[in-house]
Structure 1
Amino acid sequence: MTEIRSLYPRLVVDGGDAALDFYAAALGAEITDRYTAGGRIVHAMVQVGPVRFAVKDEGDGDPAPTDGGPPVIIALEVDDADAVAERMLAAGARVVFPIDDHDYGDRGGRLADPFGHHWMIAARRADLTPDEIQARLDATTR
């Protein structure tokens, strides 16, 4: 059986910096990771006590809920993204973004379950520093 390493909600918003400011003021959130591409937040990990969640600006096929997108994307970190995707597809999920290798060190993609929830499935393939991840993102948006 595939090992699940973590699960956290991923909030797609219109105005990532304003959302991060709100979560800091309202919840005492700390931003532990923040990556941008083309001036937009593509991933910011937020820590509130023992709880963590991610925030990203809308775009790259992710509309904010105010524009008809899903209110939350569930990020599922596993040891084998392909195996989890195959099991989910066999059980009735559909592909939103196919499983593929990404410059930021993950192999992953996105599936929608039969109930409309989006699952971002990812397996870490390379241990990169935050600076290396940002440099790779910057190189792909030039």
Structure 2
Amino acid sequence: ASHLFTNPKTKHRWAACSNRLDMTDKDVKDIGKAERPQKIFANMWFDGNCAEALKFYVKAFECKQIFCMAHEGCVVHACIQFHNKDNMIFLSDVHGDHFETGANKAGASISLMVYVKDVDEAYKRAKDAGCTMLQEPEDQFWGDRIIRLKDPFGHSWTLATRKFEPGAEMEAEGKKWWQKMKEKANKRKREAVENEPNNNTAKNQR
């Protein structure tokens, strides 16, 4: 459903969209007025392609678009919700003095983690939709089965499904996991040094 209303102070005309077919103008005006629990919500920003991203996430991650407020083609504030009410993420286009740049210019500076019902199904759906998969579905020692991916808009995601509650072995397994992460990081550093232009020139001269 889409509704137009006028800000009484600035006289700006706004469009608000929702997947609720029974949404009224009063509902739109009341967005943001309701009391909320003290939670922290991620806010993703985009370089003018937020509306496109909203459609993509609904398809790729099977989430719901709760609302979308747009002005002159710019998404000022939108919200998507995953399989429970606590999994909500806000989105908007870069506008005015809100945010400096979108992910396409600066690169992703954070990774978003969301719990889903079935991470293996989520993996296939996201891959088919065009996401770059960074990690295959894998059980983790802390009890989650996760995947890692990057969406076409440059944002990094971790999707997870809770599989089990860890026991006394968690500390030992955690140390093994950390050692693997250190080895991977050291390998990347060595490869980066080997691929530096000066090193390649030296190799060619030998």
Q: TM-score, length-normalised on structure 2?
A: 0.34
Greater C-alpha Rg: 2
| Greater strand fraction, Structure 1 or Structure 2 | 1
Q: TM-score, length-normalised on structure 1?
A: 0.47
| Greater helix fraction, Structure 1 or Structure 2 | 2
Higher relative contact order (CA 8 A, sep 6+): 1
